[in-house]
Amino acid sequence: MNHYVDFISQALEIIVALVAAPLLTGWVNQCRAWLQNKSAPSMLQPHRMLHKLFHKEVVMAEHASPLFRMEPYIIFGCMILACGIIPTLSTRLPLSSAADAIALVGLFALGRVFLALAAMDIGTAFGSMGSRREMFIGFLAEPALLMVLFSASLITNSTSLANIADNLTHRQLAIYPSLAFAGIAFTMVLLAENARVPVDNPATHLELTMIHEALLLEHSGRYLALMEWAASLKLFAYLCIGFAIFFPWGIAEAGHPFALILSIPVLAAKLAVGGALLAVIETASAKLRIFRVPEFLSMAFLMAVLGMLVHFLLGA
């Protein structure tokens, strides 16, 4: 019986991820618009755009290599796998043994590498520039993310995200300063990796200021749809990692089929709050100049290391 529940929860997670990710992006855009006193498009707009893009023809550069054709699928696959591993709805996931938290970071890195390669593949100036910047930010953000995950692992004695979430749910309610530091660091890394203000403005149309958008300039049709979907999935995945580590309550544990049903509205609520907070942070910050981004990210790294050190010192 439990076996089936596990498979169902795994499948449900992936489906929920696919459906909820564009909704999340739409929600964040809505919140941003409200905060800026504009009227927002509906939350379903990203879904409509994906639908539109899938029905459009692909226009591709003549000298694009097979790498360019494969890349959207690879990236989309990485993101789906990531969403499958992260315990969004349940901590008993058959796929979670495929990768622990550190391998998850590796998975994101794989996606990033292919993204950068594909953009350079076409050989345009903006593509290469975008790749460089993307790798630059990734290089600085990865250590910070790893440190955050290390802090969480040290507290819970496991590197598997599912186990971390499980462990933290079962503990007594206590204030963990090390997790507080790790939380701040994680937020900063989230902003950097998902191309949000203050690191990169997702709504910009000036190519010279683009980081993530520049990588998508050459894609069209279903490739663009997959890439946009992958970007939403990445944001969804990051938010869920944050919830798993810092707010793990509500995730269904093993052997509670009804809890699985309950966990969906809980996740929705958490995502709503998280998305709103993200919009607030984006609206309140100004975009950093590109040479200040290392400072921002070294601050994140610092917070994460501090969290670890504080854990060693205070045992908390």
Partner 1 sequence: MTGVSSQILNLLAALLLLLTFAMLGQRRILSLITLFMLHGIVVVVSALLIGYATSNHHLYFSAGLTLAVKVMLIPWILHKLVFRLKVKREVETLINVSVTMLIGIVLVIVAFNIALPVAALSSSVASGTLGIALACVLLSFMMILVRSNAIPQVIGYLTMENGLFFAATAATDGMPLLVELGVALAVIGGTLVVGLFMFQIREHFDDLDIHNLETRKED
Footprint of partner 1 on this chain (CB under 8 A)?
Answer: 174-175, 177-178, 180-181, 184, 294-295, 298-299, 302-303, 305-306, 309-310, 312-316
Nearer to partner 1, 108 or 176 (CB): 176
Question: What does the alpha-carbon distance between residue 302 and residue 181 come to, in Å, rounded to a whole number?
Answer: 9
Helix (H) or strand (E) holding 22: helix 2-35
* Residue nearer to partner 1 on the CB measure, 250 or 294: 294
CB of 175 to partner 1, least distance (A): 5
- Shortest distance, position 6 Cβ to partner 1, whole Å: 36
Q: Toward partner 1, which CB reaches closer, 272 or 299?
A: 299
108 vs 150 by CB, closer to partner 1: 150
Q: Give the shortest CB-127-to-partner 1 separation in angstroms.
A: 28
Q: Max CA-CA distance within the chain?
A: 60
Residue nearer to partner 1 on the CB measure, 2 or 298? 298
The CB-of-296 to partner 1 minimum distance in angstroms stands at 10
Cβ-contact 185, 309 below 8 angstroms: no
**Token output for 15:** 């489906």
Q: Which of 109, 119, 287 is nearest to 212 (CA)?
A: 119
> From CA 179, how far away is CA 133, in angstroms rounded?
30
CB of 35 to partner 1, least distance (A): 24
User: Which residue, 135 or 184, has its beta carbon nearer to partner 1?
Assistant: 184
Q: Give the Cα separation of 24 and 18 in Å (integer).
A: 11
- b/e sequence 87-113, b meaning 16+ C-beta within 10 Å: bbbbbbbebbeebbbeebbebbebbbb
* Placement of tokens 């939350």 in the chain: 43
Residues facing 90 on adjacent strands: 252
Closest CA to 178 of 119, 245, 229, 122: 245
Q: How far is the CB of 138 from partner 1 (least distance, A)?
A: 17
